[in-house]
Amino acid sequence: MIERYSRPEMKRVWSDENKFSKWLDVEIAVCEAWVKLGKIPNTSLAKIKMAKCDLNLMAKIVTETHHDMTAFLGSIAPSVGQDARFIHMGLTSSDVMDTALSLQLVESSKLLSAGMKTLIEALAVKAIEHKYTLMIGRTHGIHAEPTTFGLKLALWMEEMQRNRHRLEEAAKVTAFGQISGAVGTYATVPMEVEEIACAKLELTPAPISNQILQRDRHAQFITTLAICAASLEKFATEIRLLQKTESREVEEPFQEGQTGSSSMPHKRNPELCERICGMARLMRGYALTSMENVALWHERDISHSSTERIILPDACLLLDYMIDVFSAVITNLNVYPQNMLKGLEITRGLVFSQRIMLALIDKGLSRQEAYKLTQRNAMKCWKTGRKFMSLLKSDSEIMQQINPEELDAIFDYYFYTVHVDAIFQRLGLTASQWKGKMTQKSTVRLAPKAL
């Protein structure tokens, strides 16, 4: 991943230094297992534990061998001396590489999970803050009925909780090691070595392997990251739409001195959210590649290896970055409740059409009759620009069923917030539960009963 999109902690996880350190951890864990089985002297183990990987020497050896593992073993041998002959005893390259890769995935999962937790908290706090902030709900991009901005954010929070759970499950699937020899038969390394080494590394031994850990595990991990990225794309897309100049209901943070255009000084573009949307496309490509890596020739080939050098580090780095950026967007999001209220009024009361239809049904009309009467006036409202209530009051068939006082009561935005508290309770989104995370800005806005 390019430097611009790489955060330090995740970058460290996928550095060559950490990768080869993990390889060495696996080799040492295996040697410790051999010592317990009486195959390696304790004195040799003490020297092996002092082994160091000389990256410069490794780079020089690999130009000749064209093989990472033989170059790695050659680079640590000088620091161990004669006892280096015990390192990698009975193993094949993938025993070390795949088991070490699992350790990197476990590390990455912990960082991603922590980032998701931060985002979930940011969404929760902002949802409570805007629990009653009325806005229009849209279906097909068209005004439907009122909702609240808090409900929108609460829905995102709950989705991110699911994503965090998915990540936990995917992390469990990748937290496996294998020390089973050339084609997974344990012919040159007994199962006890695998069990002891994996216990030392805090990994679960794979029940069966065939020189590699099966790539459905890695595919589940990457596709899970892609799903998380897709959720972030969904949220970011919504912010982009709500930031359109015509409505400007919300706006991603725009810092002093920031520029949105080289030619138009007035521009304040949703570039952070656009960046997230672009990155989600990349993540889906990684997911496809991970699934194509599942089918390898016979016991294995290395067609997956070249792609995993890219997709595994990059997917982790990319999602780590996306989560951090979107957390900052949510925390510092500019919200404009007055513009949301203006948006509610654009259709001059048409948002109450369902309530009118239901009121007519309650008076005894059939659903078809009620729908026809209501739609007749709704279409006039669209065409003429007159207020929906005014049209209803001038329709004698409507007024025969609904009196003016009942009609006024129907046109009440507060009606759409009646169950907000219950929804938030169901999600565990209460101010008391999140008190420690709340900011001074976190205040609820009471919905107006009429506009």
- Catalytic residue set: 140, 261
Q: Measuring CA to CA, how many Å separate 265 from each of 167, 258, 261?
A: 42, 10, 6
Residues recorded for the chain: 451
Mapped to the 3 state alphabet, what secondary structure does the chain carry?
CCHHHCCHHHHHHCCHHHHHHHHHHHHHHHHHHHHHCCCCCHHHHHHHCCCCCCHHHHHHHHHHHCCHHHHHHHHHHHHHHHHHHHCCCCCCHHHHHHHHHHHHHHHHHHHHHHHHHHHHHHHHHHHHHCCCCEEEEEECCEEEEEEEHHHHHHHHHHHHHHHHHHHHHHHHHHCEECCCCCCCCCCCCCHHHHHHHHHHHCCEECCCCCCCCCHHHHHHHHHHHHHHHHHHHHHHHHHHHHCCCCCCCEECCCCCCCCCCCCCCCCCCCHHHHHHHHHHHHHHHHHHHHHHCCCCCCCCCCHHHHHHHHHHHHHHHHHHHHHHHHHHHHHCCEECHHHHHHHHHCCCCHHHHHHHHHHHHHCCCCHHHHHHHHHHHHHHHHHHCCCHHHHHHCCHHHHCCCCHHHHHHHCCHHHHHCCHHHHHHHHCCCCCCCHHHCCCCCCCCCCCCCC
Q: Give the count of beta carbons closer than 10 Å to the beta carbon of residue 426.
A: 11
